[in-house]
Amino acid sequence: MSENIERIKCLIIGSGPAGYTAAIYAARADMKPVVYTGMEPGGQLTTTTEVDNFPGYPEGIDGPRMMVDLQNQAERFGTDVRVGMVTKVELSDKIGGIHKAQIDNKNWVEANTVIISTGASAKYLGLPSEQKLRGGGVSACAVCDGFFYKGQDVAIVGGGDTACEEATYLANICTKVTMLVRKGEMKASKAMQHRVENTKNIDLRYHSEVDEVLGDQVVEGLRIVNNQTGEKEEISITGLFIAIGHKPNTDIFKNYLEMDDVGYIITKSKSTKTNYPGVFACGDSQDKEYRQAITAAGTGCMASLDAERYLNSVEDIVEPETEEASA
């Protein structure tokens, strides 16, 4: 480890609505935050063509442009935004302890506080035709994008509670929802299964998988295959929603932080505090219920406030610029 290691007062790992909001609040509190953007600067919203449900944008805005706005706002208050990925951490379990993070498998930095906003990645089917049309009718969030398909025919893939919730949500605004379940039964709760089965405009199909998403620039249809008979069928749709789960981007913290069985970081009560002092988690890295840009931003604010209060409660915090390199 380098002798001239950099000391940061507030290290924010990951960008997106949570990270940039945390940065805005931290910078205004003179915490001199440094943001490492990660592999996908701006997070999942950079793959979203239209954001229509974030307050302050009455005409809507495309996801990448919104992330640029948030970054510019964070930088206006002095946030240091750096393109890079934290590839390893060494967290201290002592109050007032110093946390360490390695950037791009090379240089290390030290931090008095760490805010984790690494988000979660939606699971996709992995079909080339699906990936080609992400943002052109293929979405992993019905609540985010369903409005754009009002009065149209759509399809959803999945058999869990989330898939059922999103299918019934879509059924309220779309003409028809074709729901594809890979197995012969859903894994959702019985209550959610009954809700789907009793919704007239949901066409529930078991043993069904996506063979190919049809369309050049936007989704125009779907080729479905019955995985028992091999029979294929094409249907006309304008939107395809994938609801087969998310994976939080938290693997580098698993040897330190308490997580659930999926990998979402567990935070204490109504806060962003983790089981390590001075380490806070916000956004989709700890939220498996809502997963919205506005809720992520809200927890980003909370994380920054929690970090500020933590710093104020710890005595003898040394300012980064006056810290001398260790011998």
Q: What is the total residue count of the chain?
A: 327
Is 141 assigned a catalytic role? Answer: yes
Residue 157 lies in a domain: yes
Q: What is the pLDDT, as a whole number, of residue 102?
A: 97
Do 98 and 155 lie in one domain? The reply is no
Do 255 and 306 lie in one domain? The reply is yes
What's the one-letter identity of residue 112? N
Percentage helix, strand, coil for the chain under 3-state DSSP, each rounded to 5: 30, 25, 45
Domain range enclosing 164: 124-242
Residue 327 lies in a domain: no
**Residue 113, phi then psi, degrees to nearest 5:** -135, 150
Q: pTM here?
A: 0.77
Do 144 and 177 lie in one domain? The reply is yes
Residue 36 lies in a domain: yes
Q: What is the pLDDT, as a whole number, of residue 315?
A: 62
Is 282 assigned a catalytic role? Answer: no
H, E, C per residue of 60-82: CECHHHHHHHHHHHHHHCCCEEE
Do 77 and 152 lie in one domain? The reply is no
Q: What is the pLDDT, as a whole number, of residue 61?
A: 87
Q: What is the pLDDT, as a whole number, of residue 322?
A: 44
Do 112 and 128 lie in one domain? The reply is no
Place of tokens 């043993």: 207
Q: Mind listing the pLDDT tens digit of every residue in the chain (327 residues)?
A: 445 789 999 999 998 999 999 999 999 999 999 999 987 665 666 655 577 788 998 988 888 889 999 999 999 999 999 999 999 999 999 999 999 999 999 999 999 999 999 998 888 999 999 999 998 999 998 888 899 999 999 999 999 988 998 999 999 999 999 999 999 999 988 999 999 999 999 999 999 999 999 999 999 999 999 999 999 999 999 999 999 988 999 999 999 999 999 999 999 999 999 999 999 999 999 998 888 889 999 999 999 999 999 999 996 555 555 444 443
Do 208 and 223 lie in one domain? The reply is yes
Which of 242, 268, 296 is a domain's end point?
A: 242
Which of 209, 242, 275 is a domain's end point?
A: 242
Counting the structural domains of the chain, the total is 2
Among 62, 93, 144, 174, the one annotated catalytic: 144
Q: What is the pLDDT, as a whole number, of residue 91?
A: 98
* CATH at residue 290: 3.50.50.60
Q: At a CB cut-off of 8 Å and minimum separation 6, what does 243 contact?
A: 140, 142, 156, 157, 158, 160, 162, 163, 166, 167
For residue 51, the Cα-to-chain-centroid distance in whole angstroms is 15
Which of 203, 226, 242 is a domain's end point?
A: 242
Do 89 and 106 lie in one domain? The reply is yes
Element (H, E) at 194: helix 190-197
**Residue 73, phi then psi, degrees to nearest 5:** -65, -40
Residue 310 lies in a domain: yes
Q: What is the pLDDT, as a whole number, of residue 264?
A: 96
Do 10 and 112 lie in one domain? The reply is yes
Residue 232 lies in a domain: yes
Q: Which residues are registered as beta bridge partners of 138?
A: 134, 240
Among 10, 62, 104, 141, the one annotated catalytic: 141
Residue 55 lies in a domain: yes
Among 145, 153, 284, 287, the one annotated catalytic: 145
Do 147 and 217 lie in one domain? The reply is yes
Is 10 assigned a catalytic role? Answer: no
Q: What is the pLDDT, as a whole number, of residue 226?
A: 97
